[in-house]
Structure 1
């Protein structure tokens, strides 16, 4: 009977185990069977370890309590850098990162796990041999950086990730270099600048012929190993459509988008189908097939309104596309109406709407108002967009672009001092972000020089023209 009494005491003793694990943790781990005791007089749980079937089963209840604290326990062993040499640690840490994201615990802890996993894969890699596990973990790190809005930190990680695979080596490495981009398909929408960087990185890694070879191998892989119309194939086709669009091959981009849409329909992904319809509308716009573009946009608009509500940012983004389309077809009244509808949504954003989404939408609308020759309205929208992005990390280049446009608008309305100030602020940001050799930087210096001329600052203008 004393044994039975001691079995029922652990629920009360459980908090004591959590509070006192530090000094005796190393003694507990080697013997996970916490059986009831050969020495029942001791109150500490440590001596109660000799195997005994009935107590071990009855003591199984405290284990969930210990596992609930498991999120904190991994941090202690992981501090020791020497443990990263264990080849089994990398996959374990990478799984922890994925599980942490899935559980909603927040990306910061997942980022720590993913960074440690990358370091472990790097240490355990065979010298001179490219590690596909390292490439995969780097893609996870970059994805987490993007979810945190830290795009400037994601870019060098992506650069490194695509340099790891040896593309000419074999099919696996070619697929790693190309299909590694697949998980970014959803994030690429709305991140035009980052998408452009990814495409330039891809072009540096592989020439056009290698990209085509990778694409064929990837689709062949899906035909062999994936079920028909799989979500994975749809994601890859959307990515390939983006690449074709960037290269001006609109017909191929349209073909991939249509096939991706069919796969999403087969899997019941209505919102994804609507997002693809927007992309299809953009391709039709590039091909000057405006009636078909309107039809695609209206299809997407109907789905977004029914599934997300009339005031969702996705609805506003379609309004912007329709406004641009109607301006290009000469229907200025309809274009202005859609701009106003989009601005009403951005003025009262729904909870969860990011500042980047609103700023991007306002910037696009300002371009349409610029076409209307309304510089004052353009300046108002650009100032609002810049204010939204001021405190956001990784947005310095975007803010510099907005300030450059503001400088042009100030120059048009003959506010030369404000124009010079805006150009100067943009120049400082581009210099600090390492974009001094870009063509845009040179144009910006020339624009600032023109503003200086109007203010009779000739020496300053000469220096700017010379540098530009």
Structure 2
């Protein structure tokens, strides 16, 4: 007999039934059985409210469990209400700066960001930062983690400069406090996120310094031939590509391929990512024959791994077209490749997506070049309509 059948046969005044129901709610939530989880939490809340009233701190665990389930099943508004109720209970029974508030505040902030409400998310993350600062001082590692969460909210909101400052301060606090190891995954992600932000605002040199720090730390703790280094090599190479230092980008990408060749089979799909980056790099160095061969290899491996109509294949095809255009390959063959790219993009993003605009432009160019006017005009009209659509969107 299932546990819920046993529990359903018990009366609400059964000793410890509320604790069993809370445990069941958590268990069902972990298993993805959200309907059963919700029923367990709701019954537990009903029992606890009848015993202790609707302001008891004993309600916190089932309230947070209910909120989590609601958030996981797309009922964000109700979930937010539950989080606010839990916060209000704790504020009344403890105080507005109790450390017990951190868990519901953090969960609320994450949900608000997920729902696109970054402005609202700032408040709970600010409160967490203030709580930890007051309790433990400005140099405590928990303060660093709170800064990181607030930085993420600032970034989503669009306050990139503020986010950069917070990320920098967070990394400084975490490093000095030795709250976590330098090679911890969380620290690494913070450095990478900050590096990306710095690149976005045109501070690529500072961003590269962080990416180089990631590489050096991984080399120190895992060794220079560890597969974990590959990500950092590719990130650094991408940074150099952005700054048009193609020679350094090539060196880093060849190093990453050399490392991967020792641990991954030659036709493993993971190797295609540095390969395609290298193809782009060689294209920019006017070494188009080498670039073409790499792009063809990537295309072959990805077709086998992902299927001929997949997005990774579309990406490889798009790169191949650019390279073969420089090699002045046959226009009709390039047109067929572009039509494949368009089909893939339409399937993945929709016929009116931004992704198809550039591909349509290329197709219209080759149709015009090949004198295929009857096929060109409807696509040219479609392209013009899409351009007008996105121009109006930008104006708003």
TM-score normalised by structure 2 residue count: 0.68
Aligned partners of 2:288 and 2:323 also within 8 Å: no
Structure 2 distance, partners of 1:162, 1:76, is 32
How far apart are 1:378 and its partner, in Å? 5.2
How far apart are 1:396 and its partner, in Å? 4.6
- Map of 1:419 onto structure 2: 379
Name the SS of the counterpart of 1:88 in structure 2: helix
Render the CA deviation track for 1:332-356: whole Å, top value 9, x for unaligned.
11111111111111221159x9944
How far apart are 1:281 and its partner, in Å? 0.9
Aligned partners of 2:171 and 2:187 also within 8 Å: yes
TM-score normalised by structure 1 residue count: 0.59
- Map of 2:371 onto structure 1: none
Distance 1:203 1:138, change over 3 A: closer
Match of 1:180 among 138, 149, 152: 149
Structure 1 distance, partners of 2:30, 2:376, is 62
Name the SS of the counterpart of 2:170 in structure 1: helix
Q: How many residues align?
A: 349
Distance 1:345 1:202, change over 3 A: same
Name the SS of the counterpart of 1:349 in structure 2: helix
Structure 2 distance, partners of 1:309, 1:420, is 44
Match of 1:402 among 333, 355, 363: 355
Distance 1:385 1:228, change over 3 A: same
How far apart are 1:299 and its partner, in Å? 1.8
Aligned pairs (5 A) from 1:204-243: 204-206=157-159, 208=161, 210-223=162-175, 224=177, 225-243=179-197
How far apart are 1:406 and its partner, in Å? 2.8
Aligned partners of 1:132 and 1:176 also within 8 Å: no
- Segments of 5+ residues of structure 1 without an aligned counterpart are 1-14, 35-62, 98-108, 144-153, 185-197, 442-468
How far apart are 1:419 and its partner, in Å? 2.4
Match of 1:87 among 60, 85, 88: 60
How far apart are 1:24 and its partner, in Å? 2.7
Aligned pairs (5 A) from 1:260-409: 260-268=214-222, 270-349=226-305, 355-369=310-324, 371-372=326-327, 376=332, 379-388=335-344, 390=346, 392=348, 395-396=349-350, 400-409=353-362
Greater shift in the superposed pair: 411-420 or 230-239: 411-420
Match of 2:107 among 137, 151, 155: 137
- Segments of 5+ residues of structure 2 without an aligned counterpart are 134-142, 369-374
Aligned partners of 1:175 and 1:217 also within 8 Å: yes
Which of 1 and 2 has greater Rg? 1
Distance 1:206 1:405, change over 3 A: closer
- Map of 1:26 onto structure 2: 12
Render the CA deviation track for 1:249-291: whole Å, top value 9, x for unaligned.
2221111011112233344393432011001111222334333
Aligned partners of 2:112 and 2:120 also within 8 Å: no
Name the SS of the counterpart of 1:254 in structure 2: helix
Aligned partners of 1:290 and 1:325 also within 8 Å: yes
Aligned partners of 1:114 and 1:141 also within 8 Å: no
Distance 1:110 1:123, change over 3 A: closer
